[in-house]
Amino acid sequence: MKQSYIIGIDGGGTKTVAAIARLDATIVAQVKAGPSNPNAVGFEQSAKVLLNLVDECCQKVGCKSNSVKKIVIGLAGAGREEDKQQLLKILKNLGGDSFVKKVILETDVRIAFEAAFPDNEAGIAVISGTGSIVMARTANQKFIRAGGWGKTLGDDGSGHAIARDAIREVLKSHEGRMVKTVLTSRLKKSFKLRSVDEIISYAAHHPIASFAPQVIEEATKGDTVAKEILMVHALALAEAVEIVRIKMQQKENIQVVCFGSLLEHRNFYSALVREIIHEMIPGVVIRKQKLSPVYGALLLARKSIN
Amino acid sequence: MKQSYIIGIDGGGTKTVAAIARLDATIVAQVKAGPSNPNAVGFEQSAKVLLNLVDECCQKVGCKSNSVKKIVIGLAGAGREEDKQQLLKILKNLGGDSFVKKVILETDVRIAFEAAFPDNEAGIAVISGTGSIVMARTANQKFIRAGGWGKTLGDDGSGHAIARDAIREVLKSHEGRMVKTVLTSRLKKSFKLRSVDEIISYAAHHPIASFAPQVIEEATKGDTVAKEILMVHALALAEAVEIVRIKMQQKENIQVVCFGSLLEHRNFYSALVREIIHEMIPGVVIRKQKLSPVYGALLLARKSIN
């Protein structure tokens, strides 16, 4: 009998990872490509990257496309229903009917959640990278979210929000509304500014979240301004966890997994977030994230077949 | 002798107004067109709108273009030096060397300031429309600014910031982090949302400042949430006024003019801003804005000739 496969894809604004696996989710091969977030690269380009990766996966294992039974794509920037439909339409145009019928389009957050809680467990995922969101699944498989409001309305606890608040403190200091801060020189170096004023037009046209790790660094060294900013955002994440916990109606043994670029490694901020969640919410158990998001996509693919 | 003219243009994101005047700034004719903010309509279109308006001005008074001695354009979205140079380049391509040599490109804020303080007086302009900024001129003609950080970093006191904070309160209420608020139904009606969640993707792709006047309306009716938001932003504007006053080194008879769509008419917010500035800063005299920004542009044109 011919071997059948499933494919999982984790698509972000920087890179895209695809894995092809047997129907039991045992990975056979893995391939990488550039960004595929449609908000960053456009819908056409996003669809092309995704289709290419599927082709490459098939080539790696030497199978034909009809051996692939399911493709789960977890894509940053696919949260909006309109955007989702538009991308599926383009995938259909480029890949054909039989291809698009196999595709399940999810958000990057959803597949990461699946990797965190692979056995349908109830649990809470706290994510902080450029953006942030808290997502929970109840014992009866209902999803609840808090935060994830985007840049305009403010993703509290996210890299963007931390960077934004740090830059605001630098500008306040520059205008004479606040004492001097070490963040000023960090900011000037970081974005190659001749004057602090230049950050205003820079921020209007470029992403700023890359400044957040430097705020974390300065907090580690003891800077009060940096520490206060991180405290505010750690509290916001903990508040979001508490709000979903209340809705989950669960009081003990609440499994929490922290991920995203700011939380997945040990640093001042990720430690602070974990500490505050522990203090604020009794009954919480913070676990490590063991599986990769692309594996979460494969798990979803496997579930959708069974 | 042939009559000579000057032209003043006030270009925004909604409309553009041009006035042609004699060299003493006596307006002879006025014409209108659509938006010319290059960030909103693109640089090519912005340049075309501006050139057309100059042509129309000349037609209105039946003069040739060489009778126009100076053109001052106060343009929203021309604050960045790079953007300014790019627009001037396109104006040169489309209008020619002799045309662009007459052009002085300023921000919309600068010409409004000139209209507020036409006689080179020291003074402070407090502006709150979609964005906000506080601009001051010292007795020895130095300009000082506070705020005006743009949407990403937050224009405290602006329509965008007020709308953003109000939407955040609605989302908090929706997530169960805050009590119910009347702003929720206002928001749903205002942006034709079926569910509150829809505001997240809406805000990521559309301007939201149009919600600010409704926050002001609800504050007028007594809503506590709306009142608190306005209080925070009125305080931020007053703080910006205080910071420029300190830098101006002036302690009494400080002339302040409030303008922009949120402040130029009498409403709950504009009254609050005036009241707090009065209370916080002794020695302030709040005046009415009497002249239009386009007239401010003409005054700058006149000054540049003399």
Q: Which of A273, A264, A275, A261 is nearest to A234 (CA)?
A: A273
Q: Does B197 touch chain A (CB under 8 A)?
A: no
Instruction: Show residues of chain B in contact with A208, CB under 8 Å.
Output: 152
**Cβ atoms A7, A301 nearer than 8 A:** yes
Residue A243 has pLDDT above 90, yes or no: yes
Backbone phi, psi, residue A17, to 5°: -120, 135
What is the pLDDT at residue A26? 96
**Contact B168/A175, CB-based, under 8 Å?**
no
Residue A1 has pLDDT above 70, yes or no: no
- The rounded distance, in Å, linking the Cα atoms of B22 and B149 is 37
* DSSP-assigned beta bridge partners for residue B285: B255
Per residue in B238-252, pLDDT tens?
Answer: 999 999 999 999 888
Query: According to CATH, where is 3.30.420.40 located in chain A?
Result: 5-114+293-305, 121-289
Q: What is the mean pLDDT of residues B145-163?
A: 95
Backbone phi, psi, residue A147, to 5°: 75, -160
Q: Which of A184, A133, A186 is nearest to A158 (CA)?
A: A133
Report CA dihedral (A61, A64, A65, A71) to the nearest 10 degrees: -30
- Tell me how far CA of residue A203 lies from CA of A200, A210, B38, B95, B150, in angstroms: 5, 12, 17, 32, 8
What is the pLDDT at residue A13? 81
- Residues of chain B with pLDDT > 70, as a percent, come to 100
**Chain A: closest CA distance from residue B4 (Å):** 38
B42 CB-near residues (< 8 Å, 6+ apart): none
Torsion A183-A189-A190-A193 (CA) sign: positive
**Cβ atoms A255, A117 nearer than 8 A:** yes
**Contact A168/B153, CB-based, under 8 Å?**
yes
pLDDT-derived band of residue B167, with 50, 70 and 90 as boundaries?
very high
Per residue in A16-47, pLDDT tens?
Answer: 999 999 999 999 999 999 999 998 899 999 99
Q: Does A182 touch chain B (CB under 8 A)?
A: no
Give burial (CB, 10 Å; 0-12/13-18/19+) of A213. middle
Residue A3 has pLDDT above 70, yes or no: yes
- Which helix (H) or strand (E) segment is A105 a member of? strand A103-107
- As a whole number of angstroms, the longest Cα–Cα distance in chain A is 75
Torsion B88-B89-B90-B92 (CA) sign: positive
- Which helix (H) or strand (E) segment is B30 a member of? strand B27-33
Q: What is the mean pLDDT of residues A136-164?
A: 95
Interface of B with A in 9-68 (CB under 8 A): none
Q: Which of A118, A126, A132, A109 is nearest to A274 (CA)?
A: A126
Give the homologous superfamily in CATH for domain A5-114+293-305. ATPase, nucleotide binding domain (3.30.420.40)
Q: Does B247 touch chain A (CB under 8 A)?
A: yes
Interface of B with A in 256-275 (CB under 8 A): none
What's the mean pLDDT when you consider all of chain A? 94
Instruction: Show residues of chain A in contact with B175, CB under 8 Å.
Output: 146, 240, 243
Q: Which residue has the tokens 């594996």?
A: A295
Per residue in A86-122, pLDDT tens?
Answer: 999 999 999 999 999 999 999 999 999 999 999 999 9
- Residues of chain A with pLDDT > 70, as a percent, come to 100
Q: Does B196 touch chain A (CB under 8 A)?
A: no
**Chain B: closest CA distance from residue A39 (Å):** 11
- The rounded distance, in Å, linking the Cα atoms of A289 and B274 is 53
Q: Does A201 touch chain B (CB under 8 A)?
A: yes
What is the pLDDT at residue A250? 87
- The rounded distance, in Å, linking the Cα atoms of A73 and A103 is 7
The helix-helix angle for A159-175 and A198-205 (nearest 10°) equals 160
B165 CB-near residues (< 8 Å, 6+ apart): B229, B232, B233
B130 by DSSP, 3-state: which? coil
Per residue in A218-235, pLDDT tens?
Answer: 999 999 999 999 999 999
Instruction: Show residues of chain B in contact with A243, CB under 8 Å.
Output: 175-177
- The rounded distance, in Å, linking the Cα atoms of A37 and A49 is 10
What's the mean pLDDT when you consider all of chain B? 94
Backbone phi, psi, residue B157, to 5°: 90, -5
Pairing of strands B123-128, B254-259: parallel
Instruction: Show residues of chain A in contact with B239, CB under 8 Å.
Output: 177
Total length of chain A: 306
Q: Does A149 touch chain B (CB under 8 A)?
A: yes
**Chain B: closest CA distance from residue A102 (Å):** 27
Instruction: Show residues of chain B in contact with A148, CB under 8 Å.
Output: 200
What is the pLDDT at residue A54? 97
**Contact A175/B146, CB-based, under 8 Å?**
yes
**Chain B: closest CA distance from residue A161 (Å):** 9
First-last CA distance in chain B: 19
A56 by DSSP, 3-state: which? helix
* DSSP-assigned beta bridge partners for residue A286: A256
pLDDT-derived band of residue B1, with 50, 70 and 90 as boundaries?
low
Q: Which residue has the higher pLDDT, B226 or A130?
A: B226
- The rounded distance, in Å, linking the Cα atoms of B215 and B225 is 9
**Contact A246/B151, CB-based, under 8 Å?**
no
Give burial (CB, 10 Å; 0-12/13-18/19+) of A173. middle
Which CATH number applies to B121-289: 3.20.20.70, 3.30.70.2340, 3.30.420.40, 3.60.150.10? 3.30.420.40
Tokens matching residue A173: 């200091």
**Cβ atoms B176, B157 nearer than 8 A:** no
Residue of B nearest to A247 (CA): B176
- Residues of chain A with pLDDT > 90, as a percent, come to 86
**Cβ atoms A257, A116 nearer than 8 A:** yes
- The rounded distance, in Å, linking the Cα atoms of A268 and A219 is 7
Residue B66 has pLDDT above 80, yes or no: yes
- Residues of chain B with pLDDT > 90, as a percent, come to 86
